[in-house]
A and B are shown apart, each in its own frame.
Chain A
Amino acid sequence: MTNLPVPATVMVKRPATKNRLGSFLIFLVVSLYFLVPLAATFYWSLRGEKDVLGFEAYRKLFADTNFLPAFSESILNAVATIVLSLIIVVPTAYWVTLRLPKLRPIVEFITLLPFVIPAIVLVFGIIRLYSRPPLLLTATYDSSRFLLICVYVALSFPYMFRAVDNGLRAIDVRTLTEAAQSLGASWPTILFKVIFPNLRVALLSGALLTFAIVIGELTIALYMAQHTLGPYMANLTRSKVYEPSAMAIVAFAITWAAMGIIDFVGRGASRRAQMADTD
């Protein structure tokens, strides 16, 4: 009887155990790197009362008369930033995808500028430009706040444009637009009934990333003398011991909640995409 050659696939042994151990070690180190400071901050935030672990620092934080105004102002700024950013970015990205694809590199470059211009340079440039007529926007608190929102809109561009652009690429926007047009739809109908509903996840991702940036932003708000959460946290660090840690945990929880929402909504979309692929 002749010996049949053993197929190569059977002969090759996968070093599965070694790989798994290596992966686990990397995971462990990275987890510790992130979790230890977080756990320490959380532990510190629980020591607001002498010799007792509790939520005293959180109670004091929420009881502080400056906290809620700063928090609500930051939230309102974030919402205004998101709305303005969507109004600017979505039609731009849509039109670039549909009609002006040659402009894409230029638009991408512009939207990436906030990454290369340091916040401190940006804020001094803005203060210099808008502190004298005819563009005097730093005269009052409200006009400065409007200016701050505009700066945040610019800061949100890299995230918002990328998220919307990816969303538009994923849905074959050109063909969907043409299909809707051939069925008699006008531009507003196409945008509101076909494009926006299919960009739900992308818009939400962009919006929540923008939200996270605005909520935690310090440098620009500080130099523009705004009473938002960033400067409030900075002040808190100078004057209190445990409350800044409680504040950090609250900010962290808000960010994670935002990420959770993106993940939850995105999971539904990716499951649909998966089902379509396996079809």
Chain B
Amino acid sequence: MTVGLILLIVLAIALSGYVLGRRRSLRMVGGDIRKLHSLPGFYGQSVLIFAAVPALLVMLGWMLLQPPLVDRHVARLITEADIAEGSSRDLVMSDVRRIADGLDQMMAAENLSEDALQALDAGDSDIRAKLGNVGIALGSDVRSAVFEAAKVYRDSAATGRTLMTLAVIGLALTGAVFGYLRIAPEYRARNVAETSVKALLILSSFVAVLTTVGIVLSLLFESLHFFRLYPAREFFFNLTWNPQFRGGSDLGIFPLLWGTLYVSFVALVFAVPVGLMAAIYLAEYASKPVRAVAKPLIEILAGIPTIVYGLFALITIGPLLRDYFAQPLGLGASSSSVMTAGLVMGIMLIPFVSSLSDDVINAVPQAVRDGSYGLGATQSETIRQVILPAALPGIVGAILLAASRAIGETMIVVMGAGAAAKLSLNPFEAMTTITVKIVSQLTGDTEFASPETLVAFALGLSLFVVTLGLNVIALYVVRKYREQYE
């Protein structure tokens, strides 16, 4: 039974529980709801909660736990002898999983019966070709033990699924009956219902925390995995980035970090003055109609997806910079360059800097402005000598947030900066960034367990740590700044 179907059944049980529970409560008092502790709907809700919540929790837990358990069970079937030269248990297990997934399709394509499948042996029939026909491409011929393991895997998974179906539906029914029988006029159904709803609310607020935990754990585990295969010292201090398919790669983060910082620097050098001046003009000078037009126009820039900026860099800014600056100046012939990505990223960051700065400038109280004007200061003197220094912490916070954005930005650099890991000062040369390499190392057809792939997680971890650090500082600075004027 598919997950969706089980969900629907549980839902149906819960809903009928609601209707029946509601009706039962009314019947108990002969339709006089004044005799009930709570409104009839709450009695319905209490039944619904008893029916749905335990069942769904069990289902969720089961779905999370079953795959690793089955994995462990099947992995025991594979002996050292079944692992080919140069392969690993992990790789064999991933083959087992893929074969198991493909078996059903293969059975359908070949009109095989269940018995025929069990009789099938990898030794005497060409499993690899048959699986290939249904879209499961395997790197080598299937060993007998691997194929047997795959069959066990498939069986265990199916058994697990059946058990889960029974357990979940059974639990839903039991819960519904239990809830139904508890109904009595003095039963505090509202309190039960509201406590459960509150628990649900609390649970929802944990999702954000769980996301962070998930990010940290997945990055940490895979990075540790990587550092077991590739020394951490090399990763942080090797000055070359040169992944090889056949091992012996140089995977130093340094050139990528350099490219990332260089592109971000160019972006900020462009975006900060423009964004800040735009914010100042809009907050202090612009007349109402100008503000009403210019502010949304600039904010449109913030709503444009980064892929659009990427394309803009690729087809417009890149060739433009190459033809009018890089080539005439003899600085390079590549349309993807630090400058291309930096400029376009700078455009993307303008609204970011300007709207945050606008906020902090507006947070400076009017009284301070009046004080300055009252002394005979001009508007620009007031802005430069009073407002900006007062707003400085907030603006610094905004710039840090923008920097964190720039460092983590992916599509613009993927399409605008290039793929060559280089340590160069020439801004018209193609360089690459951490994010570009995360994408390229994880989207190729490389083996998942190789250091060349796993390095992406170590890169991701570095990226996460850097941006998190910037964000925490920025948010702290901005918060402190806000408090100053509250």
A and B bound?
no
Interfacial residues, chain A to chain B (CB-CB below 8 A): none
